[in-house]
Amino acid sequence: MPYGLPRKLKRAFIVQALLASLAVLVGGYLVALVIKHGLVKEVLREEAEHYWRARAENPHTPAPDTLNLQGYLQPAGATTAPLPAPLRPLAPGFHELKDAGLLVLVDERPAGRLYLVFQRAQAQRAAFWFGVVPVLLVLLGIYGASWITYRASWRLVSPVDWLARRVAQWDPRHPDVHELSPERLPADVQGESRQLALALHAMAGKVSEHVARERNFTRDASHELRTPLTVIRMASDMGLADPALTPRQQRSLQRIQRAGRDMEAVIDAFLLLAREVDVEPQSELFDVGDVVRYEAANAAELLQDKPVRLLVSIEGSHPLVAPPRVMHVVVANLLRNACQFTDVGQVEVQVGGGRVVIKDTGIGMSAEALSRIYEPFFRADRNQDQGVGLGLPIVRRLCERCGWRIELESSEGQGTTATLVYN
């Protein structure tokens, strides 16, 4: 597992903390701006109003002069000479003099201009205590809460992550059942995680039993099914050696021999499907044309009572290294389907270019039937008594096992074209 659940959880909490920090920092910055400009400006305006009211009652009221605030009054008609140099060019309104480190409010009335000067350092100090310090405290709270929540979440998910890593390392053919036995589970695997571990332990045991049972069946079937077929083949060989056989008896024995060879091919194909995927099938060099000729001869018996021609076109040799009996099963199924569902016309087989193409003029299939043709037990023509609908699903599985491909084209009432691509 390239990324465990705890790591993803850690990333989620880090992203959450970063987003929260960004939001708090932006909020703190806005609070500092409000304090430095909005609050100070409002305080200076209130100070100006208070001063003009006091001056209206007492014309000799001096300009404000406190620890944080310095006021200058320029009576109407007077020059700006008595004012500090930075204040002289200022127009009425609020000003921030960064070079001088001052925040200045110039309030003009009929009696003159009032200059209220607030030290910028004082505003920054206020912004620090009322903006930055609360932000830092909030950030520390967020980080602390995130860390505590992360640790609690990690304790909850770490058993699941441990369990997932152990199961991911299992060999499907030989799962380590004892690794999840109750006595070997870590102490922190409790609650639902322990239930899951015990359920996986039980399932792994059943999988092991199933794999062993399948392996034994494959071995036993390979031996037991071949024994009677060997007897049948030897008996038919001995029967055919009798010169006193009638032509009818010879044909019967030859059919028995072909059926025995076909059964051996079917057994090999089923055993191939039963073996594990990473076990390579036994391959040998053979000619695809020979397989097609043999199966075409067998399929011709299905057309004896039908006005259907079977045409086989094979040019040159077509060597292939693969399981030959699997090729027999695949070609036999495709040919048998073509002959079975064709009542008039022809069945044409072409071999070349790494393909076996079987084209018939039979009943064909609708688009719906063609989309379901690989479903087990599905038959396009329910009126046909032969077959149970297992042929094409088996053919497709065998082709996938050998790295081949089946392509079907069909239209209802216009026949079917089956293409086996083996190169």
Beta-carbon-side half-sphere exposure of residue 215 (alpha carbons within 13 Å): 11
Write out 75-103 in H/E/C secondary structure: ECCCCCCCCCHHHCCCCCEEEEECCCCEE
The alpha helices in 105-190, defined as continuous H runs, are: 120-127, 133-168
Q: Return the number of other C-beta atoms located less than 10 Å from residue 87's C-beta.
A: 19
Please, what is the angle between helix 191-240 and helix 133-168, to 10°? Answer: 30
Question: Any bridge partners for residue 237, and if so which?
Answer: none
Task: Report the pLDDT value the prediction gives residue 232, as an integer from 0 to 100.
Answer: 84
Place of tokens 């049972």: 213
Task: Report the pLDDT value the prediction gives residue 287, as an integer from 0 to 100.
Answer: 96
Positions in the chain short of pLDDT 50? 1-3, 385-389
Place of tokens 């059942």: 177
Integer Cα distance of 364 and 412 in angstroms: 4
Task: Report the pLDDT value the prediction gives residue 387, as an integer from 0 to 100.
Answer: 42
Question: Any bridge partners for residue 176, and if so which?
Answer: none
Cβ atoms of 107 and 116 within 8 Å: the answer is yes
Cβ atoms of 393 and 317 within 8 Å: the answer is no
Ordered by start, the domain boundaries in the chain are 5-151, 200-279, 284-421
Task: Report the pLDDT value the prediction gives residue 243, as an integer from 0 to 100.
Answer: 85
Answer CATH for 284-421 from 3.30.565.10, 3.40.50.1000, 3.40.830.10, 3.10.129.10? 3.30.565.10
Q: Evaluate whether 200-279 and 284-421 have a shared fold.
A: no
Q: Whole-model pTM above 0.85?
A: no
3-state secondary structure (DSSP) of residue 114: strand
Residues in Cβ contact with 306 at an 8 Å cutoff, skipping those fewer than 6 apart = 342, 343, 344
Cβ atoms of 362 and 415 within 8 Å: the answer is yes
Domain 200-279 sits in CATH at: 1.10.287
Cβ atoms of 312 and 349 within 8 Å: the answer is yes
Q: How far is Cα of residue 337 from the mean position of the Cα atoms in its chain?
A: 38
Q: Which amino acid appears at position 417 of this protein?
A: T
Task: Report the pLDDT value the prediction gives residue 388, as an integer from 0 to 100.
Answer: 34
Residues in Cβ contact with 81 at an 8 Å cutoff, skipping those fewer than 6 apart = none
Strand order in 355-360's β-sheet? 308-314, 345-352, 355-360, 416-421, 405-410
Task: Report the pLDDT value the prediction gives residue 28, as an integer from 0 to 100.
Answer: 67
Integer Cα distance of 136 and 395 in angstroms: 70
